[in-house]
Structure 1
Amino acid sequence: MLSDAEHRAVQELESVLMSDPAFARAVTPVVRRLHGVSAPVVVGVAATGVSMPAVEWAAAEAAGQGRPLRIVHAFCAPLVLDPLGVIPAADSLPAQQAAAGRLVRAALARVRSIAPGVEVSAGIVRGSPRRVLLRESRDAALLVLGSRWPGCRWQGGRRPGLAHLLHGSLAARVTAGAGCPVAVVRPPAPAAADVVPPGVVVGVDGLRHSDAAVGFAFRAAARRRTAVTAVHAWTADCPADLEAVIAPLVTTEAAAHALVDDAVGRWRELYPDVPVGTEVVRRDPAAALIARSAGAALVVVGSRGRRAGLGAVFGSVSRAVVVGAAGPVAVVHRGTEPSPPGAYRWASR
């Protein structure tokens, strides 16, 4: 291990080298690729009983990608009233730390039992779980979270009410501002013995973040040796003027089919061994994906990466799918597009 003086010397040397624009331009792409290879899968664990399915899912994903796994538990000390104000309850801190240690040790033991070849580490951090997980997401390849939501049924294609979306789901709040793709995993429902092997479902809307999601879905399907189903939901054109001149439904539907075929075309060529199906439905996008999530191994949705707040609550398809889907959901933000095969080799390939 480097001493403090040696560490400072390395930092000074790095600063001098990176100050040369030509050198910086040459090494920056390589540094980014090396970081992409070594970035871990991070799983957040909580004391609510929803974490173990997420830990198991994250361990399998880390093994499939050939990445290390990092287990993170964050906790806040409870506050008590004091004549000087509200202060942390110091007496409860040792008990919290002991409980956190038991929780993390159980997660480590589970990972080592189901994925012994995965390099795994753990950290217990005192702080806001949301802030800790967002900070962890900056250097992660994938952030995995558990959810107590069993999935909600949409009646008649109607969205869940505002109170439902504002229930306080940590997973939904973290997903809105994470710096990497986020997978939300809830306890699996019992599966019938005669169902077809589960595939990966991805939502397509033709925008930039949709392409990132499609790429993520193809990579996930290739690792699982399963199929991709690209789903595009469309609605009839709004009237173009006061005379209610609209495009014929057959024209609008044909455009929708062309859009989804174009969205999967490049990735179909890059992953020729992955079976691909497309579905074009006339329905609300979130309702369509939630309905299709039953029996899927993973549902992938794109996101513009808006910060948590009102913009992440109102009109967000990705948030509604996270809340309502029946299985694991991966939210891929714009700017985290996966590189095509051959651009660089991941650890498992």
Structure 2
Amino acid sequence: MSDSGSPVVVGVDGSGSALEAARWAAREASRLAVPVRLVHSYSGIGHPGRLTHDQLREHGELRLRAACAAVRESAPGVTVEKVLREGDPRVVLLDESRRAALVVLGSRGLSGVSRLIMGSAGLTLAVHARCPVVVVRSPGYDRGPVVVGVDGWPACAAAVRFAFTEAARFGAGLTAVRTWHNPGVAGPMAVHEEERAQLIRQLSPLAREFPQVPVEHVVLRGRPGRTLLEFGRHARMLVVGTRGRTGFAGLLLGSTSQAVVQQGTCPVAVVRSEDS
């Protein structure tokens, strides 16, 4: 997480999904008491309409104004910064993440912004961004717990800390979910109890640090992506890390993070592992 006072950055592309992301970011920035920084990037390379440089800038200004109106509607007191930059959205947002508290994106867009998360090449933003990346798919709930996938310790420690921080900020509970899946394992009850004991032990320092956050420890036998999606149906937010034991992170994200980001219904925060 960036230093206190860093803005919440929103990738703006003119889509309804990006406007929803701007509204969510406005409420988050209000809770953090920081500005919202609306960023639109443009490039004439490969543009189907072959618009001129001036036309691209004009379209960008219109999109930023629409996003600014959405922010002011959701959080009238929040300071808004509008940024129009030329370049690949992937490069621009990665640079913006260096000075941001969060980067917020819509899940569907008119340009490549949302594909930075949803597409195969674009997953690099979440794994290399210097702050958490939040993908907003719908208005979401203003109730329910923050759900975090605890998958491989200490790789997911940053994601768990972020989840505790958000739950405290929301005044919500936290549901920590761990899954295990080994069809041939002997003594499944013993494995289950050991997994639960480890989960409680790993989270206990943060639970003491955030005593105001009620914590539910959930251990289930099953596939992690499917389980998290089920718990996320009525969650305020889903939080996942970029690395874990259930799938090879490779150069991009782990399999669990990919499944949740692409299919989650509530806002999904992807938090870069501290050692990645």
- TM-score by length of structure 1 reads 0.69
In the alignment, which residue of structure 2 is the partner of 1:312? 252
Moved beyond 3 Å, runs of 4+: 169-173
Aligned equivalents of 2:183, 2:74: Cα separation in 1: 50
Aligned counterpart for 1:279 among listed residues 204, 210, 218: 218
Aligned counterpart for 1:187 among listed residues 132, 135, 138: 138
Aligned equivalents of 1:301, 1:263: Cα separation in 2: 16
In the alignment, which residue of structure 1 is the partner of 2:56? 96
Aligned equivalents of 2:36, 2:154: Cα separation in 1: 29
The amino acid that maps onto 1:234 is W
The amino acid that maps onto 1:218 is F
SS of the residue corresponding to residue 9 of structure 2 reads strand
Aligned equivalents of 1:120, 1:112: Cα separation in 2: 8
Mapped contact 1:147–1:171 kept (Cα < 8 A): no
Aligned equivalents of 1:69, 1:184: Cα separation in 2: 16
Query: Alpha-carbon deviation of 1:55?
Result: 0.3
Mapped contact 1:302–1:333 kept (Cα < 8 A): yes
- Once the two structures are superposed, what CA deviation does each residue of 1:149-178 show, in whole Å capped at 9, x if it has no partner? 9xxxxxxxxxxxxxxxx9737864421321
SS of the residue corresponding to residue 167 of structure 2 reads helix
Structure 1 position 229 matched with structure 2 position 229? no
- Once the two structures are superposed, what CA deviation does each residue of 1:1-43 show, in whole Å capped at 9, x if it has no partner? xxxxxxxxxxxxxxxxxxxxxxxxxxxxxxxx9x611221111
In the alignment, which residue of structure 1 is the partner of 2:262? 323
- Once the two structures are superposed, what CA deviation does each residue of 1:234-292 show, in whole Å capped at 9, x if it has no partner? 12386xxxxxxx54212111111112112321121111111111111101111111121
Query: Alpha-carbon deviation of 1:206?
Result: 3.8
Structure 1 position 107 matched with structure 2 position 67? yes
Query: Alpha-carbon deviation of 1:319?
Result: 1.8
Mapped contact 2:135–2:269 kept (Cα < 8 A): yes
In the alignment, which residue of structure 1 is the partner of 2:227? 288
Aligned counterpart for 2:190 among listed residues 228, 243, 251: 251
In the alignment, which residue of structure 2 is the partner of 1:11? none
In the alignment, which residue of structure 2 is the partner of 1:48? 15
Q: Flag structure 2 segments of 5+ consecutive residues without an equivalent.
A: 110-116
Aligned equivalents of 2:88, 2:207: Cα separation in 1: 42
Aligned equivalents of 1:273, 1:303: Cα separation in 2: 27
**What is the number of equivalent residue pairs in this alignment?**
264
- TM-score by length of structure 2 reads 0.86
Name the % identity: 39
Aligned equivalents of 2:122, 2:169: Cα separation in 1: 25
Structure 1 position 267 matched with structure 2 position 218? no
